[in-house]
Amino acid sequence: MSEPLLIDKSKKGRKAYCFPALDLPRGFEQALPDIPASMLRVKAARLPEVAELDVVRHFTKLSTQSFGVDNGCYPLGSCTMKYNPKLGELIAQLPAFTTIHPLQDLSTAQGSLSIMYNLLEDLSSITGMSWGSLQPCAGAHGEYTGLKMIRAYFMKKGETKRTKVLVPISAHGTNPASAAMNGFDVVTIASDREGLVDMDDLASKLDDSVAALMLTNPNTLGLFEKNILKISSMVHASGGLLYYDGANLNAIMGMATPGDMGFDVLHLNLHKTFSTPHGGGGPGSGPVMVNDILRPFLPKPDIELTDGGYAYSWDRPDSIGKVSMFWGNFLVLLRAYVYVLRMGSEGIRAASSHAVLNANYLKSRLEKHFDIPYGTKVMHEFVISCESLKKEYGITAQDIAKGLIDEGYHPPTMYFPSLVPEALMLEPTESESIETLDAFADTLIAILERAKEDPLYLKGAPYTTPVGRLDEVKAVKEPDLRY
Amino acid sequence: MSSIPEVLKYSKDHEWVRLDGDKAYVGITDHAQEELGEIVFVELPPVGERFGKDEEIATVESVKAASAIYNPIEGEVVAVNEDLDDSPDLVNTDCYKHHLYVLGSFSQSDFESLLDANAYGAFLESL
Amino acid sequence: MVYPYIPHTDEDRRRMLEAIGVSSIEELYSSLTEDLLLSDSVPISHGRTEDEVLRMITAIAQRNSTGIPFLGCGCYDHLVPSTVQTLASLPSFVTAYTPYQAEMSQGLLQVIYEFQSMICEITGMDISNASLYDGANAAAEAATIMISHKRKSSAVLVSSTIHPFTLQVLNTWALGTGHEIRLIPERQGVTDLKKLDDLLQEEVAGLIVQTPNRYGLLEDFSGIADTLHAKGCLLAISSDLLSLAMQKSPAEWGADIAVGDTQALGLPLAFGGPSCGYMAVSTALMRKIPGRIVGATVDKQGRRGYTLTLQAREQHIKREKASSNVCSNQALAALMTTIHLSSLGWGGMVEAAKQSYVKAHYLAYHLAQLPGMTLVWDVPFWCEFPLVFSDAKKMRKFLQELRNEGIFAGVRLSGLTRQVKDELVLLVAVTEKRSREELELYLAAARRVMK
């Protein structure tokens, strides 16, 4: 059953919240200066008028039509849908953190600053970088910040003709978009037969017009770029910089560092690798981490530990400036810090190694039934191609995905990377047990077998949801974007 | 196999150009509309503005893709096909009948450097 | 050590490795050369139990101290109904990904649809997206829209009275891109718009202004939309969403783009984040607005449902040609604002805005009677006002002594702008949450210090 819009339950005069009466001296209100009528609002906004229980039932009902990691297995590739520990939620609601104003005197916010400083120290150790900034609010925001720093670095060096950013064909869409936002021209690098960066193509495109190469490692096929040290020396020899998209850090965290691989700058996705919840699409957090050469360009203010405690340092002439309104998504940073404290040095290593174990196990369960075009051994994720199924039975990746919904699973990432036709990208994360993975694999195989016999059934899936597949053409052609 | 009328000229970005007196009509080819799928929106250029060769001039959108249209010959936009505002799918129905925009005072040399139907057909084969 | 977040037993590991056909987990890392594999664990502390972490964090938290906040500058302490935190903590909201699989995400999609609707209602605009990071980033996205809207433009005019941090984020946006931020000077605490027409040169794409502005003052934008539109330029107005219950909406001023923060509507102070940026535009800019948008449509049986739509604008399809790189936004914070607005209704919004106005004026009126501090400009304000001290020493003493009494008396503007001219300016914010007792406490302390 669908839930009506709350505005449609509105009844004039109902209230879900009351304000205390204004208790200023009698007559004060009347003596107030008038705001000129030309500056006052005329038209009332249409908002719900309902009782408190109406609000509670409305949003509770809507939450039952939403699916999170707490509801079931969520093997969404490149999104790292791991379990979000409840301790983080508990701590993020402590008034000692939620009631701190971003501009109150820093002597009264030493606790919050200490969390940010210590988190930066731990993230530096985990990534093998020198230092970073916690201001970016999401992964793409971190990319924007990192590329802006690369821009500023070359401007400072007077190398203004470095206008290109190289991006592999398998990269996340945010990579080229972030580069374009910083005024770079995007040049695509081909993949070789194994699914790795095509070294010849890279060599042919590296020259003194290239500012940076952006890499996700392991890449979106779940493959580690084994030539990374060679790539790094090639890029650096041509005078360019190497950018690490941290989306897939969950494969190597604690086992290896982007710093050792030669990356100059990276962003993390705390809402992936560091277990903070995705919140239905944010708030996330995308810290940028840098090596020494880019450190002067970090956003300001930086956090310092001085004799008088933690302080902000604003006097940083090469800084690119601010990238957020205040200091970043603090409550997300807090949750990530709690995660790091819980797991510790051995725990983060265990997290990534079990993420890799789970991906390979799931792959071993599925490879007899599905075409997995790239990788014999993979890292934390792998990609199935449904192309032959489409040719033989007319079954698409989308059909399989929709079939999974009826069985209580969140589908894998569909149609990405574009390198693989009819792609389904699976990332089980370390959170899932062998029993869950077995049950998921059995389900996927059963869906496949049924579809081969009765493709039409799968075409109609899902059947168990409040609505079936939606008319997306209508949604675009006749936009209905508000009540 | 996509259709390639003999009477038109083509660009490697899959636009066609048809001359009518001192005006040039520009649209997208059958190959382009097939690649895009059901077209849901066409963003047309402002009338009265001059666009260079290969400058981005319009956008064609399907649900899951968006393609920039690169102006195949330099010229001034003198008219746009307003039918596409309400029915962008006309481009799917008959892409050679429904142009996107019309250029005036265009570059004759740009026009002459376009591909003919045979050359465009061979170009498609090579893709 | 056993990790509660990793379910594997020794037996599980053994069976899984056997199925994969390797003898150890390390073997799965064989594509990493040995010089890349860490020989030792990374230098961070060992793991801790829940209780150990809780004790440690509680101890750190004690190094924060709270006072009665008269602090604003883009982050305000308003009353928030209990429904907001409780309902926004429902796990199927909190732990969900972006609703790409529409059929199993109808609840989340409907929340965003209701959010978009409310943002449109309050700003008066036609189309809202699903949220952006914060107000400053929303302003930067507005600048991007302006540049892409007007051919061959490269500059965006910005009022000197916009929030200092928004200005800094805009300057970062322009850095190294060939775009330019040009400041319009201020006069008497508000934007000096008299010479606007002269400033609208060929390369100028639009104007970004803010009301209430960086001083808390309300600005009058009469006529400027027409001036801008006549030159093919766009107008973006940044506002605290709650202030729009009282002052003219961006649409009523003729704006093309409305941006700002929703923090005042249901979000905690939280050291400044997560906040939630909003952006709403006129229909003409539907395909330029960045980020996710939810639309209503139907399924094959004609049942109404919600889905992410107009995706051809976005980075996962258009890559370097996308209207923005934004992917994750602030969905859960947008949910909190939606619950907040559902609980308050328009009547509640008007009440909160009005009480904030009255209480701020009560405090301002009485402070203005004291020696050594003045309200310099005779311009209407809403819930925040600039108090100008006669000397810096007195100002520091004032702040220190009030802090000793548990009152956070205001924000020093120079702390944000790092400019000498702002050194004597204290911004004092008063919301409906401040009780009469708190106001009197502030006044009594102020009278003692400033006598």
pLDDT in tens, C75-116: 999 999 999 999 999 999 999 999 999 999 999 999 999 999
CATH class held by domain A88-342 = alpha beta
Alpha helices in A158-288 (DSSP H): 174-181, 199-205, 228-237, 258-261
Tell me the chain A residues in contact with residue C222 when contact means C-beta distances shorter than 8 Å. 38
Q: Inspect the interface and report whether the beta carbons of C312 and B62 lie closer than 8 Å.
A: yes
Is pLDDT larger for residue A443 or for residue A29? A443
CATH assignment at residue B87: 2.40.50.100
Q: What is the mean pLDDT of residues C240-254?
A: 97
Instruction: Give percent above pLDDT 90 in chain A.
Output: 95
Question: Does C318 lie at the interface with B, CB-CB under 8 angstroms?
Answer: yes
Tokens of C208: 């970004």
Instruction: Give percent above pLDDT 90 in chain C.
Output: 92
Question: Does B13 lie at the interface with C, CB-CB under 8 angstroms?
Answer: no
CATH class held by domain A352-477 = alpha beta
Instruction: Give percent above pLDDT 70 in chain C.
Output: 100
What are the Cα distances from residue A224, in Å, to A19, A80, A364, A428, C31? Answer: 58, 17, 18, 17, 6
Residues C5, C10, C16, CA angle at the centre, nearest 5°?
90
Residue C151 CB: number of other CB atoms within 10 A? 13
Residue B6 included in any domain: no
Residue C424: its pLDDT value, please? 96
Is pLDDT larger for residue A377 or for residue A263? A263
pLDDT above 70: residue B1: no
Distance of CA B124 to the CA centre of its chain: 16
Give the pLDDT confidence of C112-160 residue by residue, as tens digits: 999 999 999 999 999 999 999 999 999 999 999 999 999 899 999 999 9
Tokens of C48: 């801790």
Residue C51 CB: number of other CB atoms within 10 A? 9
Extract the runs of DSSP E, i.e. beta strands, from C218-303: 234-238, 257-261, 277-281, 294-298
Residue B7 included in any domain: no
Q: Which helix (H) or strand (E) holds A265?
A: strand A265-267
Q: What is the mean pLDDT of residues C415-438?
A: 96
Question: Does B62 lie at the interface with C, CB-CB under 8 angstroms?
Answer: yes
The amino acid at residue B30 is D
Distance CA A3, CA C106 (A): 9
Give the pLDDT confidence of C17-30 residue by residue, as tens digits: 999 999 999 999 99
Q: Inspect the interface and report whether the beta carbons of C345 and A50 lie closer than 8 Å.
A: yes
Residue A376: its pLDDT value, please? 85
The amino acid at residue C250 is P
Q: Inspect the interface and report whether the beta carbons of A281 and C48 lie closer than 8 Å.
A: no
For residue B88, the chain A residue with the least C-alpha distance is: A477
Tokens of C400: 């220190």
pLDDT above 90: residue C315: no
Give the pLDDT confidence of A145-182 residue by residue, as tens digits: 999 999 999 999 999 999 999 999 989 989 999 999 99
Residue-range definition of the domain harbouring residue B100: 13-118
Distance CA C77, CA A101 (A): 8
Residues 187-216 of A with CB under 8 A from C: none
Tokens of C93: 């909201």
Of A19, A271, A474, the CB nearest to C355: A19
Number of C-alpha atoms within 13 angstroms, CB side, residue B110? Answer: 19
Residue A1 CB: number of other CB atoms within 10 A? 6
Q: Inspect the interface and report whether the beta carbons of A473 and B40 lie closer than 8 Å.
A: yes
Question: Does C440 lie at the interface with A, CB-CB under 8 angstroms?
Answer: no
Angstroms from B52 CA to nearest CA on chain C: 13
Instruction: Give percent above pLDDT 70 in chain B.
Output: 99
Confidence of residue A1 (pLDDT cuts 50, 70, 90): low
Question: Does A381 lie at the interface with C, CB-CB under 8 angstroms?
Answer: no
Q: Which residue, among C360, C165, C85, C138, has the nearest Cα to C262 in the 3D structure?
A: C138
Question: Does C332 lie at the interface with A, CB-CB under 8 angstroms?
Answer: yes
pLDDT above 80: residue B34: yes
The amino acid at residue B18 is R
Residue B3 included in any domain: no
Tell me the chain A residues in contact with residue C65 when contact means C-beta distances shorter than 8 Å. 108
Tell me the chain C residues in contact with residue A79 when contact means C-beta distances shorter than 8 Å. 97
pLDDT above 90: residue B68: no
Domain count of chain B? 1
Q: What is the mean pLDDT of residues C207-224?
A: 97
* Domain-wise residue ranges, chain A: 1-31+48-65, 88-342, 352-477
Residue A26: its pLDDT value, please? 82
pLDDT above 90: residue C243: yes
Residues 86-125 of B with CB under 8 A from C: none
The amino acid at residue A343 is M
Contact C5, A354 (CB under 8 A): no
Distance CA A432, CA A435 (A): 8
Q: Inspect the interface and report whether the beta carbons of C310 and A23 lie closer than 8 Å.
A: no
Contact B68, C317 (CB under 8 A): no
Interface probe for B, chosen from C310, C315, C319, C320 (most Cβ of B below 10 Å), is C310
Question: Does C242 lie at the interface with A, CB-CB under 8 angstroms?
Answer: no
For residue A320, the chain C residue with the least C-alpha distance is: C172
Give the pLDDT confidence of A406-419 residue by residue, as tens digits: 999 999 999 999 88
Using CB atoms, which chains have 3+ pairs under 8 A with A?
A: B, C
For residue B61, the chain C residue with the least C-alpha distance is: C312
If you search the block for the tokens 């580690």, which residue do you land on?
A224
pLDDT above 80: residue A31: no
Confidence of residue C322 (pLDDT cuts 50, 70, 90): confident
Q: What is the mean pLDDT of residues C376-381?
A: 91
Here the ipTM equals 0.97
Angstroms from A415 CA to nearest CA on chain B: 11
Altogether, the residues listed in chain B come to a count of 127
C418: helix, strand or coil: coil
Average pLDDT taken over every residue of chain A: 96
Tokens of C124: 């008066």
Residues C416, A135, C135, CA angle at the centre, nearest 5°?
65
For residue B65, the chain C residue with the least C-alpha distance is: C312
Residue B57 included in any domain: yes
Confidence of residue C1 (pLDDT cuts 50, 70, 90): low
For residue A398, the chain C residue with the least C-alpha distance is: C101
Question: Does C202 lie at the interface with B, CB-CB under 8 angstroms?
Answer: no
Confidence of residue A28 (pLDDT cuts 50, 70, 90): confident
User: Structure pTM?
Assistant: 0.95
Residue B41 included in any domain: yes
Angstroms from C287 CA to nearest CA on chain A: 11
Contact A50, C342 (CB under 8 A): yes
Interface probe for A, chosen from B35, B36, B40 (most Cβ of A below 10 Å), is B40
Tell me the chain C residues in contact with residue A38 when contact means C-beta distances shorter than 8 Å. 220, 222, 248
